[in-house]
Structure 1
Amino acid sequence: MSKSDFPPAYEDALHGPRPRHGNYPQPPPAYGPYPAQSSAQYPGQAGYPLGYPPSGMPYSIPLGMPTSNPAVEDDEYPYSTAWESISIRHAFIRKVYLILAAQLIVTVSIVAVFTFVEEVRAFVIRNPAVYWTSFAVYLVTYCILVCCEGPRRRFPWNFVLLAIFTLAMSYMTGTISSYYDTKAVLLTIGITAIVCIIVTVFCFQTKVDFTSCGGLFSILAIVVLVTGIITAIVLSFKYVPWLHMLYAAIGAVIYTLFLAYNTQLLIGNRKLSISPEEYVFGALSLYVDIVQIFIFLLQLVGASTD
C-alpha cells in the first residue's frame, strides 16, 4: 500500500495539505469555512402535574429553546473534514458521553432529593420564586452556550457555564417532579433510560440518516411550539385531561426523534456532523432532549398511576 492510500492527517484535513516541493500543481483546499447550518431545534414546554398547580407556579414550563447547530455537510468537501481520523471521532464521542453522564447523575440526584425528602418538596412548592430564578439562570446560560462560539469552546468557561446550566435545569426538573407521586417518578426514570438506550443503539447501527431530514425536524419543532401554546391557553381556563395527555404524548415522541437526530450528528458519517471541538454543544443537545423526554413521559405516567 502506497503512502497516498492512507487518509490525510488531522492537520491536513483542517488546514489543507502542506505545499510540496517541485513543480507539482497545488491541490484544491480540503474544505472551506463551515457554512452556517441550523439544526431543527425546538422550543418545548413541559406541562404541570395532575390538577391545577399551586398559585404562582406556571401552567406550562418552557424547558427548550431554539438552538443553532454548528454542523457541516460532508458531501461538499473532498475530505470528510476532521472526521477522517477515526481516533478523533471516538475521542469526541467519549468526551460527549462522559459530560452527558455527569449531567444526568447530577439531575437524577436532585430529582431524587426533591422526590424523597418531604421538607424539600414542600419548600419548592411554597416558593415558586426560586423556580423562576433558576429559569432565568437557565435561559441566560443556555443562550450563551448556544449562540456564542467563544465561551462554548474556551476552557474553563465552557464547563463553568455548562455546570450552571445543568444545576438550573436540574432544579426545574426536580420542581416538576415534586408534584408527582414517587412511584410515577421512579417508573418514568426507568422508561426514559430504556428509551434513550434503544434510540442510541439504533442510531449507531441503522443506515437511516436523520440528519438529512432537516425540513421535517423544523416542522416537528413548530408542532411542539404550536401545541404547547394552544395547550397552555386552554388549560389556563379549564383543565382538559385528554388535551394534556395528547400534548405530553406528542412531546415525548418528537423529542425522541430529536434525540435520534442529535445522536447521529455526533457519529460523523452522516450528511451533517458536529465539529470535534463542539463537545459541549453535543452534550448540551443530548441532555436537553433526555430531560424533555423525562418530563413529557412523567406527565403520561403520572396521570396513569393516579
Structure 2
Amino acid sequence: MSRLYILKFKIVFFIPPPTENESQATNSAPKDGKHLIENGIITQDLIIKSNVFEDPTIRMGFVRKVFGILLVQLLFTLVVIAIFAYHQPTKDFMQDNFLLVLVAMIVNIMVLTTIVCVENVRRKHPVNLICLALYTFTMSLLLGTASSLMDSNVVISAVAITTVLVIALCIYAVQTKYDYTAAGGVILTFVIILLVLSVCGFWMPDFVDSLPITCLCTFIGCFFLICDMQSIVGGNRSEQLDPEEYVFAALTLYVDVVRIFIYILRILQKFN
C-alpha cells in the first residue's frame, strides 16, 4: 500500500497596484486584521483555518472523533481475523470461494480511491462513514483470508506485537519535539521506495519478500504512522489535517496500522 495524500490548490487573484492617494491612505491606516483582509494581503480563509488549528477545543474534538472511529475499525478487523483464524468452516468457505476475495479486493481499491480523490465524498455525512465502513469491511475480509492460511499462533503474535508497537509509536509521536511532518523529502523518498518494491514484487518476489526488505518496509510504515499521528494531533507541526477531514484521518491511521501488521506478519512467518 502506498501512502495517501491530498493536494489542495488555491487560486490567487492579483490586485492592481494602488494609486498614489490610495497608497498614502493605506500607509496611514492602522494595520489591523480587517484592513489586511480588505486589501487582499490576508485571505479570510487563511484566518479561519488558523483559528481552527489554534483552538484546542476543536482540535481535541477532532482527535477524539478520529481515534473513536479508528478504534471501531481495529476492533472489527480483530474480530474478523479471530474468526478466520480459529473457525474452520469459515476458513474452508473462503478458501473455496476465491472469487469473493477478488471482489473484495476490487471494491477495496475502488472505495479507497474514491475517499482519497473525491473531497465531497470524504466530507459529506453519512456518505463518508458508509465508504469508510465498506473499506474497513473489505480490508478485514482480506486480512482474515490471509490469516486463515497461516498458523493461528503466528497471527496472534503479530497482532500483539503490532498493538504494542503502534501504542509506543503514537506516544512517541505526541511527545517528541521533532516535527516529522516537515521531512517532506524523506516522506517522498519512502513513498517511491514502496512503489518500486511493489512493482518489483511481480518480477522478483523472493527479493521483495526477503527479511531485510521486509524489515525496511516495516521501518517505513512506522515512520508514516508517526507523521500521520503528528498531522492529526496538531500543535506546532508543519502539516496539519483540517478538522473536517476526520474520515480521511481515520483511514490514514488505519492503513498505517494494517501496513505494519502485514509486515510483522511476514517477518514472523519467516521464523515459523
Instruction: Give the TM-score taking structure 2 as reference length.
Output: 0.82
Q: 1:125 to 1:247 in 2, by over 3 A?
A: farther
Aligned counterparts of 1:176 and 1:81: Cα–Cα separation in 2: 45
Q: Which amino acid aligns with 2:149?
A: Y
What's the secondary structure of 2:240's corresponding residue? strand
* Gapped regions of structure 2 (runs ≥ 5): 1-28
Give 2:88's aligned residue. Answer: 118
Q: Which amino acid aligns with 1:164?
A: L
Aligned counterparts of 2:169 and 2:112: Cα–Cα separation in 1: 25
Residues 110-140 of structure 1: per-residue CA shift (max 9 Å, x gap): 1111100111112222222111100111111
> Larger helix proportion, structure 1 or 2?
2
Contact 1:266 1:273 in 2 (8 A): yes
Contact 1:31 1:79 in 2 (8 A): no
Contact 1:92 1:279 in 2 (8 A): yes
Aligned counterparts of 1:88 and 1:245: Cα–Cα separation in 2: 43
Give 1:248's aligned residue. Answer: 214
Report how far residue 248 of structure 1 moved: 2.1
Structure 1 stretch 225-234 or stretch 265-274: which is displaced more?
Answer: 225-234
Q: Tell whether 2:182 aligns with 1:174.
A: no
Contact 2:81 2:143 in 1 (8 A): yes
Q: 1:31 to 1:247 in 2, by over 3 A?
A: farther
Contact 1:131 1:171 in 2 (8 A): yes
Contact 1:231 1:247 in 2 (8 A): no
Report how far residue 225 of structure 1 moved: 1.5
Residues 69-116 of structure 1: per-residue CA shift (max 9 Å, x gap): xxxxxxx87983411210001000000000000000110011111100
Q: Which amino acid aligns with 2:112?
A: Y
* Gapped regions of structure 1 (runs ≥ 5): 1-22, 35-75
Contact 2:208 2:214 in 1 (8 A): no
What's the secondary structure of 2:125's corresponding residue? coil
Report how far residue 141 of structure 1 moved: 0.9
Greater C-alpha Rg? 2
Give 2:14's aligned residue. Answer: none
2:155 to 166, 173, 185: 185
TM-align CA RMSD: 2.2
Aligned counterparts of 1:33 and 1:178: Cα–Cα separation in 2: 54
Aligned counterparts of 1:215 and 1:77: Cα–Cα separation in 2: 28
Structure 1 stretch 140-149 or stretch 281-290: which is displaced more?
Answer: 140-149
Give 2:117's aligned residue. Answer: 147
Instruction: Give the TM-score taking structure 1 as reference length.
Output: 0.73
Q: Which amino acid aligns with 2:227?
A: Y
Q: Tell whether 2:238 aligns with 1:268.
A: no
Paired residue total: 238
Report how far residue 176 of structure 1 moved: 1.2
